Amino acid sequence: MMTLRKFQTAAALLTVSLMGSAWAATTAPEPSTEEFVPTVGQSGKDVIWVPTPQSLVDKMLDMAGLTAEDKLVDLGSGDGRTVITAAKRGAMARGIEYNPDMVALSRSAARREGVSDRAVFEQADIFESDFSEATVVTLFLLPNLNLRLKPILLDMAPGTRVVSNSFTMGDWDPDETGEAEGCSSYCIAYKWVVPAKVEGSWKLPDGELQLTQKYQKVEGNLLRGSEKVAITDGRLEGANIRFKVGDDEYTAKVTGKQMQGKINGQGEWSASQVG
């Protein structure tokens, strides 16, 4: 038979045991410390995620001629590798990514690599973001998204370099194409340099230059009195224009509505846009 003292002791132990069970049942579990691990092919807002091979990241930044003076923006920055690589080269780099888990992963990677002061990431829609400060834009998006971005890119400052993994910009021909070594898939990069806008009439001291433009390609005529001479080999690289009039080569820098440069590397010439 259980004595009164034994009964009281057992009851106390049972009470403690029940209290412990209740505490265990109502205490919230510890938050997971496991880092998000992306999966190749996972769905995103407009695309599935496929990482750019590191060898192509390096090739793209080489093609862009990235320096520590540049500001790079990566559209759809994924796991952050392009932004982090650019930051490790000394540039200020910014990634715009819609998936918040990828943004958190990228920020964590930037801290580990010691570049979080130069590599920043934001969770946002690229089509609702302002990245006009960029001097270099990188992207790995589908062709239809590149076409949606094309007018935005063409309105950026002349000389801005745009480099795309694998996909082009429709009828805007690339200025350069490159291929990464030791790469098995998604190994081609395309580069464009945003051209100045020069289409229209330009007044010279002794004539008029009439230009038409399709991206970086320029055609037109030089009018001097009754003489009309077609220009040839017209091309823009950013704000720099070059073309030939007969055997004479004209080069100039375009600054807004002004052109100023040289003829055959020596004689000065200038023009002002009309209208």
Mean of pLDDT over the chain = 88
> Which runs of E-coded beta strand occur in the chain?
71-75, 92-97, 119-123, 136-139, 161-165, 176-179, 188-193, 200-204, 207-214, 217-224, 227-237, 240-245, 248-255, 258-263, 267-273
* pLDDT tens per residue, range 100-124: 999 999 999 999 999 999 999 999 9
Residue 75, pLDDT score: 98
Q: Identify the CATH number of the domain defined by range 54-193.
A: 3.40.50.150
Locate the domains of the chain by residue range.
54-193, 200-273
Is this model's pTM higher than 0.75 or not? Answer: yes
Name residue 272's amino acid: S
Radius of gyration over every alpha carbon of the chain, rounded to an integer in angstroms: 30
Residues 181, 201: Cα–Cα separation, whole Å: 45
Query: Cα separations (Å) of 270 from 219, 255, 262, 267?
Result: 18, 11, 8, 10
Q: Are strands 200-204 and 188-193 parallel, antiparallel or unpaired?
A: unpaired
Q: Domain 200-273 in CATH: superfamily?
A: Calycin beta-barrel core domain (2.40.128.20)
pLDDT tens track for 63-86 = 999 999 999 999 999 999 999 999
pLDDT, tens digit (0-9, with 9 covering 90-100), for 2-48: 443 433 444 443 333 333 333 333 343 443 346 777 765 555 666 67
pLDDT tens profile 174-218? 999 999 999 989 999 999 999 999 999 999 999 999 999 999 999
246-274 mean pLDDT: 97
Report the percent of the chain where pLDDT is more than 70.
84
Locus of tokens 């704000």:
239
Distance CA 275, CA 159 (A): 24
Q: What pLDDT does residue 7 have? A: 35
**Residue linked to tokens 């009195």:** 225
Q: What is the pLDDT of residue 190?
A: 98
Contact of 174 with 219, CB cutoff 8 Å: no
Mean pLDDT of 51-65: 96
The yes-or-no verdict on residue 254 having pLDDT over 60 is yes
pLDDT at residue 91 tops 70: yes
Q: What is the pLDDT of residues 132-142, one digit of tens each?
A: 999 999 999 99
CB neighbours of 90 closer than 8 A, spacing ≥ 6? 67, 68, 118
Instruction: Note the pLDDT of residue 40.
Output: 59
The two tokens of residue 265 are 């590397």
pLDDT, residue 275, reads: 82
> Region 135-163: what's the mean pLDDT?
97
